[in-house]
Structure formats: structure tokens, C-alpha cells
Structure 1
Amino acid sequence: MTDERMVTVLVAVRAPDEEAAVVTVLGAQPRVKVARRCAELTELLAAAEAGAGTAAVVSGDLPGLDRDAVARLRGAGLRVVALEDPATSAERLAGLGCDVVVTEGDAENLVAAVRGDAPEAAPPPAPAPELEGRPGTIVAVWGPAGSPGRTTTAIELAAALAGVGAAGPRRPGLRRRARPAVPPHGAGTVLLADADTYASSVTSRLGLLDDAPGLAAAARAAGQGVLDVVTLAGHSPVVLPGVRVLTGITRASRWPELSATSLDVVFQRCRSLASWTVVDCGPVLEADELLMYDTRAPQRNGATLSALQAADIVVVVGGADPVGLQRLVRGLEDLRDAAVPVPAARLVVVNRVRESAVGRRAGSQIRDALARYAGVDDVHLVPDDPAGLDAALLAGRVLAECAPTSPARAGFSGLADRVRELVPSGVVGASG
């Protein structure tokens, strides 16, 4: 930004003396105008969305200042300059998404930051040493409504990627609430995250207690700019050998806790904690209807859209029956027209393949139907195994533990191999 253009500044600083100093310094600069002094965050957001300024100077301890608020200010076209103080570190303010962090009393850097001449805030902490230079892979498991088996696929895929069952049975007691210790993490670690805001069920499926904060707590920490790898590990206990779990919300009404802006940071941290992150997504992709009238309304589907946008690979799950295949065809169209860009590689999986619902030569019929109506030539089929899947559901375990010879387990193991094949292609890590 050059001095030829007038810079209008909105000031929201708590301490009266500091506010007066900021106004005095900026008011004495050419081509800089203090447009409004805001007493609280609500007034600042209203002024920003009304187009009253091009830059905002905020104190780091401003009540209510979080990642969502900073995102709203930046969405309104403002450059956000935060004042660091002893109670609020520069790292936290940078984690909130502020453009520049300036030490209180540093008039020269304050003016440069408001004009856009100062360097941007420091980036988030670097990945853990074990994964440095090789960020983890995010796999989003999505499918249309109608119980096509998204959660089962996500759980079994995570177990297969971690090699559960290959090194003996699971240790006793891990299904219950685990201690928030930080076991070693690195190559081979898998993180299973439940981001379904409609029917979160990973905890029930694995027999876990549902009082753990999990993904919601991680999102809160990200919203406050304090989420790091150690904090994320504390919210994701190890429940299977090599598999951590970020549990979902306990009630569907708690969906506002999973803010898309916060989850963007959570998924970035997941790349540093685990080699693989498998995200169980909700079925709905549409932008909320309220957004037609209020672009700042919370988005219930924001969690799913955030996961899809962050993913390196999207596993699209459909059911192997006439209704499920029809929904899958339409779901693939919806995915292509999603409200956010989904640059990830896509792997189509058809679950519970059985001749009783499709007819003879079920696999061939499914492939022909998807090739004809959805243009999908490569489909991975998972055979049905009611006895094995029911046993796993009853015991709260994965197929590798209670039905190791299940044909469904073989199908999910093949899916894990297909996912691994995409890693050397350059797809993985492209957004990390």
C-alpha cells in the first residue's frame, strides 16, 4: 500500500492511555485517518462491515477477540494490526490470523503496519521434528445421506492404515477413557477425527465414553490461537495401537462449536501430529440458507466443507443398492459443485456389495451403472459381511480384532492400499 492512498483506521484498544497514544501517533501521519474509536469488539465488527475503515488496530486482550472475529475483519477487507502486551503473546495473536503483531509503544512499526509496509505476522509453529518436511496426509470420508457406511469406512480405514491386527490384539483398557498423555507420534500414526455435525457416532462405534471434549475442544483452542501439537495430542487419546481419536460433538445441537475457521487450523495441526488423518464428515454440502441473508451466520456444514477443502484424498462412500447408488450419483454431482474448492483426489467406494440387493454379478452391475451415470471408471467394492460387522458393532471394536477373516475387512484393507498408492503421486501434502 502506498502513501498516495488514504488509510482509514478503526481503533479498538482497551487501555485509555494506550488508545490515546495510538490515536495521536496515527493522527499525525499524512494520508492516515482514524475513522472511529470503538469501545468493544461488537462495535468494531459493525464498523468494519459497514466499510468504515481499511485497517483495524486492536489490543491483544480485547474481550471476544478470536479467530472468527479476525476472519470477519479480514473478510470485510481490513488489515488487522494487533498490539502485543505482556498478557497476550505474539504467537497467540498470529495464531488468531492477525496480519501484523506490534509491540505496545512501538510507534514506528505501528505506522508501517497500518500502511501495509510491515512484514506479516510469524507463521504458525513448524511441524513436529518427526514429520518435518513430510506433512501428514488428510483423508476425508464423505458420502450422501442415507447411512452408506461413512463412519464404518472411516474407522476401518484408519485401523487398516495403522496396521491394527498385524501386531497382535489390542491392549486391554484402551477402549475406555484414556489418560491425556502424549505418546510418541510420527510415521505410521493415524488420527481419526469425527467432524459429522448431524450424527456423530465414532464414540458409540468404538465403545468410547462420550464425555471427552475431542474435536470441539481442539476447535476452541484453535479459535483462541493456542492450539499446538501437544494440546491436540492431549485431546486425541490413543484407543487402538497407532490410532488416536478426536471424538465428535455429543449432541447435534452443539454444531456451532465446530467453526470452519477454527477447524482449518485444527486440520493443519493434524498434519504435524499424525502421518494420516482420517476425517468422518457429515453428508450435507449445501451452504446454509441463512447465508443468503446473513453472510456472517454460523455454518452447520462448515465442518464438512473445511475437511473437504483441507483433504488430500476424498473417499466417497455409497451404498450397494438401487437407492444408495442413485444417491451416490447425485452426491458426486454435489461434490463437484461444492461451495468450496475440493482439489483432492477422489476415490469412490461402494459399501455392502451383495447380490441380494443388486442382482447377479453385483460388482459388474455396480461398475457399469457408475460408469454410465456418473462417469466413474474406477470403483472400489467392499463386500457385505453382516455377521462380522454386527460383531464389531456389538463389541465396540474393529474387524481386525473380532473378525480378522471377514471379507469386509479385506475390502477395507484393499481400500487402505489404494489410498497409500496416491501418496507418491504428489497429491499428498500439496496443501500442507
Structure 2
Amino acid sequence: MSEERNVTVLVAVQAPEEEAAAVTVLGAQSQVTVARRLAELTELLAAAEAGAGTVAVVSGDLPGLDRDAVARLRGAGLRVVVVQDAALSAARLAWLGADVVVAGGDAENLVAAVRGDGPDPAAPVVPAPADRGSDRPGAIVAVWGPAGSPGRTTTAIELAAALAGVGAAAPRRTGLLRRSRPVPPPHGSSTVLLADADTYASSVTSRLGLLDDAPGLAAAARAAGQGNLDVVTLAGHSPVVLPGVRVLTGITRASRWPELPASSLDLVFQRCRELAAWTVVDCGPVLEADELLMYDTRAPQRNGATLSALQAADVVVVVGAADPVGLQRLVRGLEDLRDAAVPVPAARVVVVNRVRAAAVGRRAEAQVRDALARYGGVGDAHVVPDDPAGLDAALLAGRVLAECAPASPARAAFEALADRVRELVPAPV
């Protein structure tokens, strides 16, 4: 073995006999050094971030071990090898993001994993997604826009309803999330999951008149962090509130944003693809990577939820307001999106909301399109006309336009937006 293949191991195994066996087996290997034997996760993380090792051998039942902890170990440059005991499934441990999962007592595979003779450390082992009865997974649509209330939440809700084919004949809802009951989607429609990932001003719950404001997305993120999130669990956290539309409600207070870590949401969005043909994510407005501001790479990232959604998205719907201030923010927001801290390879649709002559002058739609083409390089902006009466009625009733203002011109524009999204990313059939 070459000098470059020397490895230094941090061992954090719970069972004394397993720890002794691992240390004995690894210590007998050439160019393998057991640097430290650690009893707690906090000690392991501190040693990893201090650069004390290149491989972490961790027992699956180590208290506090979750997806975020594994992400921190990998972020410190360590290969993570998890030792499985009889009480834990390999699939659950793999979903934590471990590079390799080996059975307890399997000395040969443990040595191979530590040496790097197993799977590529850049490609952690994960179980295959469950079969949804389709030849391709569901699509994710991230609805993002700059600060200033351009209408991100309204766009996300109306787009979800349009993708699901919600019509004017949709049954009346009680307005109570805990009383919502599964109802079949309209004929020819798709199952849609609406997720509220806004960590600054979560409002899907109140916008839809849902009084039971349990944070469904945070609960799903907790399950994902522990490796316990499957499609059934996700469905339990996302009740049906409209025909064909499930809702993962957001955090109830902005101060609860640490409950939405990006490492867990990455897995949540994977599961969303298995549950629904379309997942529409209402994102927060800020794109900065928080650690660049706080100079602390271990600190939670408030904007991690938005960045996770944008990175996972197949289509990003960028929403701006149709007024001089809103258009200026939209142009700058498009630049910020291009320079985001994570890659955002998705197709983009620019939506200009509440287009009206009173704010931009005569020939409002043409004025908006010309301004975006000139200053933002956007040649195909999608405009949504202002309809204060219809939108106010929907807001007051906690409904979508299809339920209370089916003839609204804004609803027609959102239906056209849904058609455009379908053209960009065909959903499973």
C-alpha cells in the first residue's frame, strides 16, 4: 500500500466487546492507526473537526448519531463507517448518509471499509427508492422570490392546486387540518405535495385556513435525521386538504428554523418524489450561506432549507412583484440565484405577480416584459394579472381561487403556469 493510503481511525463504538475487537483488528493492519477511542458523539465530532482522523468507525446505536452528525463528519473529510448491530437495519443506517455499513463482528469487511477498498466515500450507500408504480420519480418545483412579499406563497398554493387539477366543484373543506380527510383527486389529475420550507415567514397553514398548525415538515425532517422516514411516515405528516393536494405545513414560529436542517431535508425531498407526482416547495427569500456570515462552519444554517429545495428542484419558479421596486428586486434576485451557494441546475420560469396599470403604466404586461428583457435578460416572463377581489376572497375564506373565484383571470394565469411547468418536466404517469 502506498504512503498516500495511510489512514487514521477514530473509534466510537458502544459495546465494549465490539470496540475491543475493532481496535484489535484495525491495530494489527499495516498503515492503519487507531488514533482515539471515543465514548460520546460530541467527542467524536470535536476530534474530527480538529483533524485527528481520516476515518470514523461508529456504532449505529451511538446516542445522538443522526444524519446531521454524519454530514458533519463527512464535511470534516472523514469516511464514515457504521457498525451495525442486530437491532438496527442496514437500510436505516445507510439513509443516515454513512459511506459504508458493516455488520458487527465482520472483521474482513471492516478492514476493507477502513482502508477504502469498499464503496467510494463520495457516494454513500443508500437503499433504492420504493417503487411508485412509475418509470420515473416525481418532480420538485421550488417557488422562490426575493424579499418584499412578491406572492411566493400564493403562487405556490395556486400552482399546486392547478397541477392537481382542482376545479370549481371541489368539495367544501372544514378548515381544520386535523379533520381533513383523504379525498380522491379529480379525473386526469396528479397527486401534489405542497411543502412550506420558508424559515422566515411560514404562512401556508394560515393561508389555507388550517387551524391545526403542527409543523409537518419539521416532523418529517426529524424522522429523516434518524433514518426513519419512509413514504408511509411522510404521508402521515402530510394530510390531504384539497382533492389531490397534500400539505407539509411549515414551522409554527420563525425561531424554530433549526428544526429544518438541510442534511435532513435532502432526504425528505427524495421521499417526496416517491409520494407525489409533483412536490411544490414554498421557499424563503434569502440565499446567503449562513456560515459565510457567521464564520462558524458548525453553526446551523437558517437558509439551508431554501438552498436544499433549490438544489433538489427540477423547476424553479422565480416570483417578483409588478411594480418598480418589485421589478428591481426581481432583477437582482435573478443575479443572486445565479450566484447561489449551491448549484441550481433546474429550469427556471420567471413569474411577475399582480400586474396592473396602476403600478407600471399603460400596456402593463408589455411594459413588464420589456423591462425584464432589457435589465434581466428574461425573454419569456409569465405574467399574472392583478385580481384583488378574487385573491382577497380566497384569503378571507382560506381557499384557493378554483374554489371561490373560478373565473378569476389570476386563476387562468396560474393554470397556464402549471401547463408551462408540465412542459418543462413531465410528471410520472
The interval holding the TM-score normalised by the smaller chain is over 0.9
State the match for 1:281 in structure 2: 283
* Closer, same or farther: CA 152–179 of 1 in aligned 2, 3 Å: closer
Residue 119 (structure 2) pairs with residue 123 (structure 1): no
State the match for 1:170 in structure 2: 171
Instruction: Give 1:10's aligned amino acid.
Output: L
Query: For the Cα contact (< 8 Å) 1:174–1:238, is it kept in 2?
Result: no
Give 1:317 deviation, angstroms. 0.4
Give 1:171 deviation, angstroms. 4.7
Matches within 5 A, 1:72-151: 72-119=72-119, 122-131=125-134, 133-151=135-153
Q: Aligned partners of 1:56 and 1:261: how far apart in 2?
A: 19
Query: For the Cα contact (< 8 Å) 2:310–2:344, is it kept in 1?
Result: yes
Q: Which secondary structure state, in structure 2, belongs to the residue aligned with residue 26 of structure 1?
A: helix
Q: Aligned partners of 1:196 and 1:293: how far apart in 2?
A: 23
Give 1:296 deviation, angstroms. 1.4
Query: For the Cα contact (< 8 Å) 1:192–1:243, is it kept in 2?
Result: yes
Q: Name the stretch that deviates more: 256-265 or 27-36.
A: 27-36
Residue 215 (structure 2) pairs with residue 202 (structure 1): no
State the match for 2:416 in structure 1: 414
Q: Aligned partners of 1:180 and 1:128: how far apart in 2?
A: 25
Give 1:141 deviation, angstroms. 0.3
Q: Aligned partners of 1:256 and 1:145: how far apart in 2?
A: 21
Query: For the Cα contact (< 8 Å) 2:291–2:297, is it kept in 1?
Result: no
State the match for 2:403 in structure 1: 401
Q: Aligned partners of 1:30 and 1:276: how far apart in 2?
A: 52
Deviations 1:160-208 (A, max 9, x none): 0000016x22254375324697989x97100000000000000000011
Q: Aligned partners of 2:296 and 2:251: how far apart in 1?
A: 25
Deviations 1:1-58 (A, max 9, x none): 8686211110001122221111111111111110111111111111111111111100
Instruction: Give 1:358's aligned amino acid.
Output: V
* Closer, same or farther: CA 420–181 of 1 in aligned 2, 3 Å: closer
Give 1:266 deviation, angstroms. 0.4
Alignment partner of 1:271 out of 270, 273, 283: 273
State the match for 1:303 in structure 2: 305
State the match for 2:194 in structure 1: 192
Instruction: Give 2:86's aligned amino acid.
Output: P
Q: Aligned partners of 2:320 and 2:184: how far apart in 1?
A: 35
Q: Which secondary structure state, in structure 2, belongs to the residue aligned with residue 173 of structure 1?
A: coil
* Closer, same or farther: CA 175–241 of 1 in aligned 2, 3 Å: farther
Query: For the Cα contact (< 8 Å) 2:5–2:115, is it kept in 1?
Result: no
Q: Aligned partners of 2:177 and 2:225: how far apart in 1?
A: 28
Alignment partner of 2:315 out of 310, 313, 317: 313
State the match for 1:19 in structure 2: 19
Q: Aligned partners of 1:317 and 1:2: how far apart in 2?
A: 54
Give 1:63 deviation, angstroms. 0.7
Deviations 1:350-406 (A, max 9, x none): 000110111100011101110111111111010000010010001000000000001
Instruction: Give 1:244's aligned amino acid.
Output: R
Query: For the Cα contact (< 8 Å) 2:184–2:244, is it kept in 1?
Result: no
Give 1:421 deviation, angstroms. 1.1
Give 1:130 deviation, angstroms. 2.2
Instruction: Give 1:51's aligned amino acid.
Output: G
Instruction: Give 2:357's aligned amino acid.
Output: E
Query: For the Cα contact (< 8 Å) 2:199–2:257, is it kept in 1?
Result: yes
Query: For the Cα contact (< 8 Å) 1:182–1:230, is it kept in 2?
Result: no
Q: Aligned partners of 1:138 and 1:290: how far apart in 2?
A: 27
Instruction: Give 2:178's aligned amino acid.
Output: R
The alignment's TM-score, normalised by the length of structure 2, stands at 0.94
State the match for 1:338 in structure 2: 340
Q: Structure 1: give runs of 5+ residues left out of the alignment.
A: none
State the match for 1:152 in structure 2: 154
> What's the % identity of the aligned pairs?
83
Deviations 1:196-254 (A, max 9, x none): 00000000000112432300000001111111111111100000000000000000000
* Closer, same or farther: CA 347–181 of 1 in aligned 2, 3 Å: closer
* Closer, same or farther: CA 258–110 of 1 in aligned 2, 3 Å: same
Q: Paired residues, what number?
A: 424
Deviations 1:119-162 (A, max 9, x none): 4764234233323x211110000001111000000000000000
Q: Which secondary structure state, in structure 2, belongs to the residue aligned with residue 139 of structure 1?
A: strand
Instruction: Give 1:64's aligned amino acid.
Output: G
State the match for 1:10 in structure 2: 10
Matches within 5 A, 1:352-371: 352-371=354-373
Q: Aligned partners of 2:255 and 2:4: how far apart in 1?
A: 50
Question: Once superposed, what is the RMSD of the aligned Cα atoms?
Answer: 2.1
Q: Which secondary structure state, in structure 1, belongs to the residue aligned with residue 127 of structure 2?
A: coil
Q: Aligned partners of 2:22 and 2:395: how far apart in 1?
A: 61
Q: Aligned partners of 1:187 and 1:115: how far apart in 2?
A: 51
Q: Aligned partners of 1:27 and 1:403: how far apart in 2?
A: 72
Q: Aligned partners of 1:342 and 1:58: how far apart in 2?
A: 33
State the match for 1:240 in structure 2: 242
The alignment's TM-score, normalised by the length of structure 1, stands at 0.94
* Closer, same or farther: CA 114–151 of 1 in aligned 2, 3 Å: same
Give 1:77 deviation, angstroms. 1.2
* Closer, same or farther: CA 180–9 of 1 in aligned 2, 3 Å: farther
State the match for 2:214 in structure 1: 212
Residue 47 (structure 2) pairs with residue 44 (structure 1): no
Q: Structure 2: give runs of 5+ residues left out of the alignment.
A: none
Instruction: Give 2:240's aligned amino acid.
Output: V
Query: For the Cα contact (< 8 Å) 2:189–2:244, is it kept in 1?
Result: no
Q: Which secondary structure state, in structure 2, belongs to the residue aligned with residue 177 of structure 1?
A: helix
Query: For the Cα contact (< 8 Å) 2:291–2:299, is it kept in 1?
Result: no
* Closer, same or farther: CA 59–366 of 1 in aligned 2, 3 Å: same
Q: Which secondary structure state, in structure 2, belongs to the residue aligned with residue 347 of structure 1?
A: strand
Instruction: Give 2:364's aligned amino acid.
Output: A
Give 1:118 deviation, angstroms. 2.6
